[in-house]
Amino acid sequence: MASKTSGLPHKLAVILHADVVGSTELVQRDERLAHQRINDAFGRFSKTIVSYGGRAHEVRGDALVAEFERASDAVCAALAFQVDNVAINIELADSIRPKARVGISLGEVVVADGTVTGAGVVMAQRVEQLADPGCVCITGAIHEALPQRMPFDQTSLGEQSVKGFDEPVRVYAVCLREGAEIPEPDRKASTGKRIAMAAALFVATGVGLFVWFELWAPQFEPATVTEMAQPLPDGPSIAVLPFNNYSDDTDLDYIASGLTEDLTTSLSKVPGLFVIARNSAATYKGKPVVVKQVAEDLGVRYVLEGSIQKAGDNLRFNTQLIDALGGHHLWASRFDRPARDVFAVQDEITKNVIVELQSKLTKGDPQAHYAARGTDNFDAWILRVEALGELYKWSREGHARAWELYQASHKADPKWARPVGGLALIRWYEAKRGWSDSREKSIQEGIAFAEQAIDLNPNDIIGYQALANLYFLRDEPEKAIALRRTTIELAPNDANNLAGTANRLNEFGGAKEAIELYERAARLNPKIPWWHKSGYGLALHLVGRKEEALHWAQDAVATAEKSNLGAGIRTIAYSRLAAVYADLNQPENANAVVVKILQINPKFTTAKYQKANPLLDTKKLAWYKHLLVNAGLPE
């Protein structure tokens, strides 16, 4: 679908940005009353903005952004609101007194769908954060644009380094001149004696007063720890939502997918940062995002979301980092870059997220290069992203296409480990499923590719993963488990790797350890995929926890069916369910499941299941075969 903002011209505008200071503390004192009074303050500020010829835009969770044509109108509106708010707060008998801070800049913006974005908005936000109590902060451009007749005292704060901008910016603090009154708007009568009296107090006390403002719109309602489906981690936790493609060009889907994956992987490498697995975050793709719900579903505090769209000959990347518990945005930016500059955009986003969260991180250089992609060759990168999508189909056709794409990616960048590791995984899976003419040849070729991937990048887990899987097929479990333990050392927060290692432990006879890994993976990946559920159910079954195993086996089947997965995947999930039913002495249920298996694949047998899902413990292997036969599955 084409973007609603596509093709809209940029324009120069005066931008006012206000955000909350101390709102969390107010809410903790009295949540209902604080929300009510903050909403009231927001409503009054909006009316004041309109009265001075401005236009309020509700664009960020804890921020009001307004657009003006004249600098004087923006400054007058900001000071008039502060003055009015002082008078109202004086009359309150309790301590729930919303206050605020404001920044004003002149910059390029684009307005669409009731929102305003652009460098001017970001600058106003940065300047607002420099404000001292009692004053509005403005940029040098606004200072130059204010008429000399205006009754404002402007104190230079000097040139300030502002994040996201290469050049320093001169900033001024603006206060109402002692004994003066705020000029009335052209379209509105005097605000009355109360504002005049409050203005006198505002100046005379010399006490800096911020206006604490927060937009408590439903789509940015703060998340609640008590409502979270998972316990909130001790350190900072984040979910990277799938980037949306707001254009008709489906090729941008690959860029959006690759950017999402690489950002997730990059952030996962930051010490002390808890990152939700891409699989779980992917469940929100293409859906309206309610930050509160996302945070509570996944058990995280921070959410990173973004989009891509065509902007002339460039791509426009919009990103924002949201504090779901605080109900506000920590950072937002827009990048207009050629498609091949996606790597620079990725690094910039990663860096900004780390910088914003660095006060909560215990280790790590916030300016460090955390890129995880491993290549700067755009053609190789985009081919590998497309190949990954085909690989995850786990079908003969998908893997045939993935093989071609991985080879093309490798040709484009022969020094990149990821596509070579992908080739190794394809050879492993075809040997596992019996798809190749020679199982041994597939294993040998797969091992060669896996070792090549490790040589290319010893810090990338993909080669170790593939090599471990291939060693299992060669009945060399000790080597396989050692390699899998290496992947956990390299990527301790990779949910799929944890669960994949647990799968191999099931085969090796390490079901108890596998259960711990599945449970760690489930916290990182709350939207648990079918194979994780099925493997966890198998591990529980192997250690004798039959009732729990039944629950997870049933859940795995339901997830596989809901996801409309292939026949091979569904027969595995159903077979494990049948085995549990047989072990629980529920023959009717077991037989019904077997009927379903044979409907999916009339040629499916116990031998085919065990060939694809071996158990190296011969006693366990015989026991499991007995359960499948008792369930009614042909040998």
Percentage with pLDDT > 90 across the chain: 35
Section 377-382 average pLDDT: 87
- 546 SS3 class: helix
Largest CA distance in the chain: 96
Section 10-37 average pLDDT: 78
All structural domains of the chain with their residue ranges = 11-204, 222-360, 377-491, 501-635
Q: What is the pLDDT of residue 255?
A: 87
Q: What is the pLDDT of residue 444?
A: 96
Strand partners, 200: none
Residue pointed to by tokens 């992203």:
385
Tell me which CATH code domain 11-204 carries: 3.30.70.1230
Q: What are the tokens at 343?
A: 């790597």
Q: What is the pLDDT of residue 503?
A: 93
- 60 SS3 class: strand
Phi-psi region of 114 (alpha: psi -120 to 50; beta: other; left: phi over 0): left
Residue pointed to by tokens 């590998």:
384
Q: What is the pLDDT of residue 370?
A: 41
The model's pLDDT over 399-426, given as tens digits with 9 standing for 90+, comes to 999 999 999 999 999 999 999 999 999 9
Best-predicted range by mean pLDDT among 174-188, 516-530, 539-553? 539-553
User: How far is Cα of residue 602 from the mean position of the Cα atoms in its chain?
Assistant: 42
CA distance 491 to 493: 5
Which is higher by pLDDT, 494 or 351?
494
> In this structure, what are the phi and psi dihedrals at residue 272, rounded to the nearest 5 degrees?
85, -5
377-491 topology per CATH: 1.25.40
Query: 466: which residues sit within 8 A by CB, 6+ positions away?
Result: 421, 424, 425, 428, 446, 449, 450, 453
Tell me which CATH code domain 501-635 carries: 1.25.40.10
Choose among 545, 537, 544, 543: nearest CA to 518. Answer: 537
Choose among 266, 459, 408, 411: nearest CA to 345. Answer: 266
Find the radius of gyration of the CA atoms of the chain. Answer: 30
Choose among 626, 564, 633, 556: nearest CA to 598. Answer: 633
Which is higher by pLDDT, 414 or 217?
414
What is the residue-wise DSSP string for 192-242? -HHHHHHHHHHHHS-----B------GGGPPP-GGG-SSPPPSS-EEEEPP
Q: What is the pLDDT of residue 209?
A: 27
* Residue 361 in this model has a pLDDT that exceeds 60: no
Burial class (CB in 10 A: 0-12, 13-18, 19+), 600: middle
Q: Which amino acid type is present at position 562?
A: K
* Residue 437 in this model has a pLDDT that exceeds 70: yes
**H or E stretch at 8:** none
Q: What are the tokens at 323?
A: 């504090």
The model's pLDDT over 440-474, given as tens digits with 9 standing for 90+, comes to 999 999 999 999 999 999 989 999 999 999 998 89
- Regarding pTM above 0.85, the answer is no
The answer to whether residues 599 and 564 touch, using CB atoms and an 8 Å cutoff, is no
CA distance 147 to 103: 18
Band of pLDDT at residue 194, cut at 50, 70 and 90: very low
The model's pLDDT over 305-335, given as tens digits with 9 standing for 90+, comes to 888 888 777 888 888 888 888 777 777 777 7
Q: What is the pLDDT of residue 10?
A: 66
Domain 222-360, architecture per CATH? 3-Layer(aba) Sandwich (3.40)
* Residue 343 in this model has a pLDDT that exceeds 80: yes
Section 587-593 average pLDDT: 94
**501-635 matches 377-491 in CATH topology:** yes
Buried b (16+ CB within 10 A) or exposed e, 460-471: bbbbbbbbbbbb
**H or E stretch at 265:** helix 252-268
CA distance 21 to 101: 7
The answer to whether residues 118 and 244 touch, using CB atoms and an 8 Å cutoff, is no
